Amino acid sequence: MAVVLDMPVHGFFAMLNLYYFDVYKTDSAAETSQYVGRWFYMQPLTPPGRWWGLFFLMPEFQPIYDFEAEDFSLWIGLEIGKIVAPGKVAYIKPGWGIDNSEPTDRASTFEFGFRWFF
Classify residue 83: in a domain, yes or no: yes
pTM of the model: 0.77
Give Cβ neighbours of residue 44 (< 8 Å, ≥ 6 apart). 8, 10, 11, 54, 55, 56
Classify residue 4: in a domain, yes or no: no
Classify residue 60: in a domain, yes or no: yes
Secondary-structure percent of the chain, ordered helix, strand, coil, rounded to 5: 0, 60, 40
Task: Report the pLDDT value the prediction gives residue 19, as an integer from 0 to 100.
Answer: 93
Examine the pLDDT at 52 and tell me if it is beyond 50: yes
Query: In terms of residue numbers, what domain contains 57?
Result: 13-19+32-116
Classify residue 25: in a domain, yes or no: no
Examine the pLDDT at 2 and tell me if it is beyond 50: no
Classify residue 62: in a domain, yes or no: yes
Of residues 24, 11, 59, the one with CA closest to residue 38: 59
Residue 4: pLDDT band with limits 50, 70, 90: very low
Examine the pLDDT at 22 and tell me if it is beyond 70: yes
Cα(45)–Cα(53) distance, rounded to whole angstroms?
Answer: 8
- Structural domains in the chain (count): 1
pLDDT mean over 91-96: 96
Classify residue 24: in a domain, yes or no: no
Examine the pLDDT at 62 and tell me if it is beyond 90: yes
Residue 9: pLDDT band with limits 50, 70, 90: low
Classify residue 3: in a domain, yes or no: no
pLDDT mean over 33-56: 88
